Amino acid sequence: MIMKNLLNLFIVPAFLFCSFQKKSELALLGDFATEKSVKKADRIMYLFFRTDKDLSGNAKIVLQETKISEGRLKFLPSFDRNEIREGDFVITIIKADGKEAAQQLVKNPLNPELEVYEKEGISRHQASLQNAEFSVRFSYAEDIRSVKIEKATEDGLQLLFTQKL
């Protein structure tokens, strides 16, 4: 009889404890589903470009591919206008209302700076390419409508490319 009472004394609280655990687990799963739907809205847009230099030395740009994938950018790329050098590209994403959503700097893809490891140490050389490929990524938003690429020149920024997305 004592054994039976002791067993009931331990089993009843264990059942009560387990029943409360299931409710809290369900609550956690509900929070997870809500969090999952919020994260589903986080997407990244990748833009892949190809640039070719024509006979006069001007760059011609073609948007090769656009991809949108799940995820979130860990940091938002930004740049200081003082960092722009001649030949660099400034890529601008434009919203439906005509305002700039984001900008990103791409170092001159047709004249990349290469590092060479030699006996004396590391040296840098500027390469001259006739064509190159480059890509950028931005946080995706439904109201993004177009992309604009400008090239830095001595006189300022020269518009090279505009395309609706």
Q: What's the pLDDT at 36?
A: 45
Q: What's the pLDDT at 26?
A: 46
Tokens read off for 113: 């700076």
* Contacts (Cβ under 8 Å, ≥6 apart) of 68: 43, 44, 45, 46, 140
Tens of pLDDT, residues 68-95: 999 888 877 677 788 889 999 999 999 9
Q: Which structural domains are found in the chain, ordered by start?
A: 43-164 (2.60.40)
pTM of the entire predicted model: 0.68
- Confidence label for 116 from pLDDT (cuts 50, 70 and 90): confident
Q: What is the arithmetic mean of pLDDT over 8-15? A: 68
Return the percentage of the chain with pLDDT > 90, whole number: 41
CA atoms of 5 and 69, how far apart (whole Å): 60
Which of 2-16, 95-109, 113-127 holds the top average pLDDT? Answer: 95-109
* Contacts (Cβ under 8 Å, ≥6 apart) of 3: none
pLDDT of 41 higher than 70:
no
Q: What's the pLDDT at 33?
A: 45
Q: What's the pLDDT at 52?
A: 93
Q: What's the pLDDT at 42?
A: 86
Q: What's the pLDDT at 21?
A: 59
**Backbone angles phi and psi of 50, in degrees to 5:** -130, 135
Judged by average pLDDT, the poorest of 11-15, 98-102, 126-130 is 11-15
pLDDT of 29 higher than 60:
no
Q: What's the pLDDT at 109?
A: 92
